Structure 1
Amino acid sequence: MSPTLSVLASSTTIDTVGTPWLWGATIAVVLALLVFDFALTRRPHEVSMREALGWTVFYIALPIAFGFLLWFHNGGTPAMEFFTGYLLEKSLSVDNLFIFMLLLSAFAVPKALAQRVLLYGIAGALVLRGIFIALGAAALATLDWAFLLFGLILLVTAVKLLSDALSGHEQDVDVSNMKSVRLLRRFWPVTDDYRGTKMVVTEPDPDRPNVLRRALTPLALVVAAVMATDLVFAVDSVPAVYGVTGDPFLVFATNAFALLGLRALYFVLHAALSRLVHLAYGLAAILAFIGVKLVLHWAHGIWSGVPQIPTAASLLVIVVVLATVTLSSLRATRGQQAAVADAELP
């Protein structure tokens, strides 16, 4: 091992918490929750606020219990890293919900099918994050400059987010230009309407009524679009949490717990998402902060005099930034909310 990597390994938790039984138990729980969610959404229905709140509370209580379990068995350091990484991933996932909301609207997804689409997106995201986490762990173990690379990725992302926010650029989704959608339409016919939870159906060919054909439904297109966006999200998300902890198990756990609650959180925050007008500024600040932390971590391995940012400071920064942008967003849109309420009065 090179001298640089030796210093990095000594200052970062690397696969000390994730014992084989803990990896197995965590993956089993994640898979069981996914299977249960798929069974729960087998019969499409419109999600009520009460149902969404109940599941949101459950998926928040679950990582909190997991974090305290880590604290009891492994001490405060890995538990602090987990809570910080989880909060970071959860804040980034709220931004992801904006894109999901735009996609569901662009594809005119029926409300009863919305949670099914989100669930497919979550499952796809977990697989992609798992791949990226493994690649990230391999890079950190073999490449001295991996921390620098991850830090630069986050800094570039932060600059782009800030630039879009300052220019007033609104996120939009052009379904017709999405590569995943264009690829599917090129090779398979697509039905004009949704067919429940089915993504592939067999029906008569309009040009040859006596011949049956296999066709995709719009549900297949929107699921493909959501999974394509998952790939983009993973590029930013995984390096960000590696800025908090170098333990691949904790990186996986923070991603898994943050993603599992997205389905319910979407319906809780659906109305509030449009009011979080300053969220992009907050996420840009957080990503820039984590990016600087990674660069300093890399530099510390070369020049021991370079300071490092402790995990507790990272947690404090994330909490303060999220609280600030949430309060400022709600205050900025307070007049807009009052105007909408007045317009709805008879």
Structure 2
Amino acid sequence: MDHLINHPGILTAFSVIIFIMLLLDLGVFNKKSHVVSNREALIWSVVWISLAMGFSGVIYYFMGLEQFTQFQSAYWIEKALSVDNLFVFILVFGFFNVPKEHHHKVLFWGIIGALVFRAIFIFTGVELINMTYLPEMDLFGHAARINVVLSIFGIFLIVAGIKSWFAEDGDDGDKDFTKSPGARLVHRFFKVSKNYDGDKFFTIENGIKMATPLLVVVAVIEFTDLIFAVDSIPAIFAIAPDDPFILYTSNIFAILGLRALYFLLANFMYMFSRLKYGLAVILSFIGVKMLISPFFHISSPVSLLIVGGILILSVAASLLFPVKE
């Protein structure tokens, strides 16, 4: 099977696009802190989704349908699971009373950190998968090669899906985020001011350099994303366990659109009130796919249709049968 590493031109284009977009984002469009409007958030959401779809079109043209659907499946799985994470971001910002005009900067630097950690998780995970195939054996009359890591991930995702289905809404509502490992890490190395100083991460008080609460929030967001990745990264390994670049590029396009999605989500949470059930089914489906893969292969196009169908149904259910507050 063709792999993205065999197409350095596509990877170079990906790197250039991401670099330019990040420069434009931080250095031009968001040079000054401001409250992101729904219109601006919608435009950026469309831009990032369009870039992802365009990139997947390039993959289809040069690599074919299988890799195209792998990218699409991994992208939409990550995008869907990210929504659940954004609910926690909303709680974090509310807990620390972060001024709305500073939300974008926190999310920007949080996601920059995610770019690095996702690369570590994905490439390490693929290496572990490649190292843990058992010798081929005959099971139920079929030759099969079981992968230890994928099997563990499969069981983990099924359990995570079941827990997600039965999780009570608002479980994080009363959480004390000052006890987050991210917050503790900042407090361990810096004295932390009780007051914000614009969008600065450090300030001077009584001649002493101190971290501002904004740095604490970035650390909490970063740690929250790491915990979230424990669910999302194993999920995408079921899509393309032997092509880390397909997984990484789709993952990066998905999380870079998170900031715009956050600002839309904050005002339209009702549209996703039933999404947790869809995510639970998706996690369980992917877990089952991992476990049965040695005996029965579910193709990437079929996986994409199933994941897409579940997402559409869960959003439709949210609109038709919203959760009463």
Same-fold call, TM > 0.5? yes
> Could you say which residue in structure 2 is the equivalent of 1:320?
309
> Could you say which residue in structure 1 is the equivalent of 2:196?
194
- Closer, same or farther: CA 124–18 of 1 in aligned 2, 3 Å: farther
- 1:31 counterpart = 2:19: yes
Q: Counterpart of 1:43 in 2: which secondary structure?
A: coil
> Could you say which residue in structure 2 is the equivalent of 1:89?
78
> Could you say which residue in structure 2 is the equivalent of 1:22?
10
What is the CA deviation profile of residues 204-242 of structure 1, one whole-angstrom value per residue up to 9, with x for unaligned ones? 1xxxxxxx2110001000000000011111111111111
- Closer, same or farther: CA 335–202 of 1 in aligned 2, 3 Å: closer
> Could you say which residue in structure 1 is the equivalent of 2:34?
45
Shift of 1:114: 0.8
Letter in 2 for 1:24: T
Q: How many residues align?
A: 308
After TM superposition, list the pairs within 5 Å mapping 1:330-341 onto structure 2. Answer: 330-333=319-322
The one of 283, 291, 294 equivalent to 1:287 is 283
> Could you say which residue in structure 2 is the equivalent of 1:171?
172
CA distance in structure 2 between the aligned counterparts of 1:255 and 1:296, rounded to whole angstroms: 24
| Higher Rg of the two aligned structures | 1
After TM superposition, list the pairs within 5 Å mapping 1:209-220 onto structure 2. Answer: 212-220=207-215
> Could you say which residue in structure 1 is the equivalent of 2:219?
224
> Could you say which residue in structure 2 is the equivalent of 1:256?
252
Task: Answer yes or no: is the 8 Å Cα contact 1:17–1:74 preserved in 2.
Answer: no
> Could you say which residue in structure 2 is the equivalent of 1:161?
164
Unaligned runs of 5+ in 2: 134-147
**Aligned residues: CA RMSD:** 1.9
Percentage identity across aligned positions?
36
What is the CA deviation profile of residues 75-121 of structure 1, one whole-angstrom value per residue up to 9, with x for unaligned ones? 11111111111111111111111111111111111111011111112
| TM-score, reference length from structure 1 | 0.84
Task: Answer yes or no: is the 8 Å Cα contact 2:106–2:217 preserved in 1.
Answer: yes
> Could you say which residue in structure 2 is the equivalent of 1:183?
185
After TM superposition, list the pairs within 5 Å mapping 1:70-109 onto structure 2. Answer: 70-109=59-98
Structure 1 residue ranges (4+ consecutive) displaced by more than 6 angstroms after TM superposition: none
Q: 79-88 vs 144-153, which deviates more?
A: 144-153
Letter in 2 for 1:229: T
Letter in 2 for 1:182: R
Task: Answer yes or no: is the 8 Å Cα contact 1:14–1:248 preserved in 2.
Answer: no
- Closer, same or farther: CA 239–335 of 1 in aligned 2, 3 Å: closer
Q: Counterpart of 2:209 in 1: which secondary structure?
A: strand
Letter in 2 for 1:19: H
> Could you say which residue in structure 1 is the equivalent of 2:144?
none
CA distance in structure 1 between the aligned counterparts of 2:271 and 2:94, rounded to whole angstroms: 17
- Closer, same or farther: CA 274–106 of 1 in aligned 2, 3 Å: farther
Shift of 1:186: 3.7
CA distance in structure 1 between the aligned counterparts of 2:51 and 2:6, rounded to whole angstroms: 18
Shift of 1:334: 8.1
Q: Counterpart of 2:272 in 1: which secondary structure?
A: coil
> Could you say which residue in structure 2 is the equivalent of 1:245?
240
CA distance in structure 2 between the aligned counterparts of 1:146 and 1:334, rounded to whole angstroms: 37
Q: Counterpart of 2:77 in 1: which secondary structure?
A: helix
CA distance in structure 1 between the aligned counterparts of 2:171 and 2:230, rounded to whole angstroms: 21
Task: Answer yes or no: is the 8 Å Cα contact 1:161–1:284 preserved in 2.
Answer: yes
Letter in 2 for 1:233: F
Unaligned runs of 5+ in 1: 1-12, 205-211, 301-305, 337-346
Q: Counterpart of 2:266 in 1: which secondary structure?
A: helix
> Could you say which residue in structure 2 is the equivalent of 1:55?
44
